[in-house]
Amino acid sequence: MFLLPLLVLQVSTRLNLDLAKPGVAVSPSLYGLMTEEINHSYDGGLYAELVRNRAFQDAARMPVDWSAVDGGTIELDRAEHPSPARPVSLRVRGGAANAGFWGYPMRPRTHYSLTLVAKADAPGPIEATLESSDGSRVFAKAEVDGVGPAWRRLTARLATGAGIQPTADARLVLRTGASRTVWLGFVSLFPPTYHHRLNGNRVDLMNLLVAMRPRFLRFPGGNYLEGGTIAERFPWAHTLGPIEDRPGHQCPWGYRSTDGMGLLEFLEWCEDMHAKPLLAVYAGYSLGGQVVKAGPGLEPFVHEALDEIEYATGGPETTWGARRIRDGHPGPFDLAAVEVGNEDGFDRSGSYPGRFAQFEAAIKAKYPHLAVISTTGGQDWLGQRFPMTHAKPDLVDEHYYASTWDMMAMADKYDAYDRKGPKVFVGEWASQDVPAPWADAAHKGPTPNMKCAVADAAFMTGLERNSDVVAMACYAPLLVNVNPGARQWAVNLIGYDALTSFGSPSYYAQKMFSESVGDQTVPFSLEGVPEQHQNGKTLPGIFASVTRDTRHHQLFVKLVNALQAEQAVEFRINGAVPDAVGSQITLTSDPSAMNDIANPKRVAPATSRLDGVGPVFRDTLAPNSVTVLRLAIR
């Protein structure tokens, strides 16, 4: 006789929810996004420009990413250039091809907008084609007329037919004719963009970001704000106006930025996501160690920051507000906060307290309603607590790049945090399954696996439970071009190539939390939680956070099972009556499972109906999972 396996899992864990007791308010801006130019986040990423090295400035001696076609020649020409902002052109005989950012995205029935700044020693058209990289297939073609002896800005549209298969194996070719010389000063090609914005963003990536419902966007960095040197800081004033007049600048992550994603584009990106801008202003410290100490020498930088804030928020009577209006955005932007610098604990000269105080005083004097964030005073990811020797800032920015174990260990970090200190902005954080965020970048990642997603979710339960002290949080880095050689950071939230994109398991964990935030925490206790062990250390195997939406009478129960076995949980609800039917969203997979270009949804959340809900009910958590229960309550 065979014994049937026991089908009912023994309950060891009990979650007691007490809705009769008051919780704390959940910050309305708890979950947001952090962004900077890294891993080709904008150029070759979100910013939809398809031409790489469009102004021929990416290398001093070579027209990199361009090649001659049809037996012709190409050469950089510093004697001929259309604008002082771009002191070089490409001299072409025959024709030139551009390789794009690891190809061009070809889709059927799609219009591509071409802009050239060009001149020639003899009149005649330029033939533009989008074709396969070996030239054997032409996807779209157009003639650009009006090329003559003076520099002119010319446009054309290339349209693909219905019959082509989507591919990234494509290039842009400009055939200029064998018997004349053409100078190209600028070449740009855009596919359709999100909300059809001119100079706008990639549609697929915007869809992924909007689905996260971010409440704010921290920009422009990160290290990208600071630059390797003071001269290479984010040059916001030079990122405005026509793209062909933007000089671009060296990005600290090893390549040049076009600055096509300029200050106005960042702000409009926020607008498109219904997220508030969190503007980080350069504060006198660059990565190479250059420091401008507090005092008169810092004043020009303080003014630069005030002007930047004025550009974002000023009215028509202000210099920079009027400039924004001329640039095409009449209304002011509603800033979430201003952050002074980035990771200034690395400034070993100890100058940050003075620099912060000078910036804060000037910002508060002109914009008293704006929250000002300090980059020291919290704790950084090397475990150091940078002392705050100046007045209490509105928020302190803490960064954590930690192993999955250490991230789970930090799930209770804020339970005992000082409630009398400044609020916390966790401005960069991510679980890593690599030895260090920058190490092994070629071999690990490029996006997190399910093990990271579980650790991320465990940490987020702690952020949410303590949302009275943790006001804002954002994962970093956000974006990565997954082509070989494109990235500098090992583990990143969203991956893409020229044609397609995917969210990682951690992306889905973020999305699940952000979709079910609520406005108040619900006090609860967990009993009988099984433990997990590693290297003689012990952590709980299950993590939880419970919030409610008091306006819509919804209860959100988030449970993270870090164990490799199913866990039965008994729920006891006091102080409210749940409807009998709720819904359950589950993200589960093997710890090592990842998404990628070929399998973009190998790991993705599944929503199911949850029956039998009542004051006391049971549910089973999948192994290695993140679960959100959404219950209606009366």
Minimum CB separation from ligand AHR for residue 465, in Å? 25
Structure tokens that stand for 41 in this block: 């986040």
Spatial separation of the C-alpha atoms in residues 536 and 533, rounded to whole Å: 6
Residues 35-54 that bind ligand AHR (CB under 6 A): 36, 38
Residue from the set 371, 476, 486, 585 that interacts with ligand AHR by CB under 6 A: 476
With b for 16 or more beta-carbon neighbours within 10 A and e for fewer, the 432-441 pattern comes to bbbeebeeeb
Residues 6+ apart with CB under 8 A from 507: 208, 212, 447, 493, 494
Q: Which residue is at the shortest CB distance from ligand AHR?
A: 222
* Backbone CA torsion sign across 320, 324, 326, 331: negative
Minimum CB separation from ligand AHR for residue 224, in Å? 6
Contact call for residue 342 and ligand AHR (CB under 6 A): yes
Contact call for residue 82 and ligand AHR (CB under 6 A): no
* Closer CB to ligand AHR, 438 or 596, in the complex: 438
Structure tokens that stand for 408 in this block: 């789970």
Contact call for residue 308 and ligand AHR (CB under 6 A): no
Stretch of 132-140, 219-227, 459-467, 594-602 contacting ligand AHR, by CB under 6 A: 219-227
* Closer CB to ligand AHR, 82 or 448, in the complex: 448
Contact call for residue 374 and ligand AHR (CB under 6 A): no
Contact call for residue 343 and ligand AHR (CB under 6 A): yes
Strand 337-340 and strand 372-374: the pairing is: parallel
Minimum CB separation from ligand AHR for residue 273, in Å? 19
Minimum CB separation from ligand AHR for residue 410, in Å? 17
Contact call for residue 23 and ligand AHR (CB under 6 A): no
Spatial separation of the C-alpha atoms in residues 551 and 548, rounded to whole Å: 9
Minimum CB separation from ligand AHR for residue 286, in Å? 13
* Closer CB to ligand AHR, 230 or 593, in the complex: 230
Minimum CB separation from ligand AHR for residue 281, in Å? 15
Residues 171-210 that bind ligand AHR (CB under 6 A): none
* Closer CB to ligand AHR, 96 or 476, in the complex: 476
Whose CA is closest to 411, among 459, 451, 454? 459
Residues 140-159 that bind ligand AHR (CB under 6 A): none
Structure tokens that stand for 238 in this block: 């030079």
Query: DSSP labels for 126-167?
Result: EEEEEEETTSS-EEEEEEE----SS-EEEEEEEE--TTPPPB
Residue from the set 44, 82, 214, 221 that interacts with ligand AHR by CB under 6 A: 221
Spatial separation of the C-alpha atoms in residues 612 and 273, rounded to whole Å: 37
Strand segments, DSSP code E, in 191-299 are 216-219, 249-250, 256-257, 276-281
Cis peptide before 5 (omega within 30 of 0): no
Cβ pair 183, 92 in contact under 8 A: yes
Spatial separation of the C-alpha atoms in residues 597 and 605, rounded to whole Å: 18
Minimum CB separation from ligand AHR for residue 44, in Å? 17
Binding residues for ligand AHR, total number by CB under 6 A: 11
* Site of interaction with ligand AHR (CB under 6 A): 36, 38, 221-223, 342-343, 428, 476-477, 489
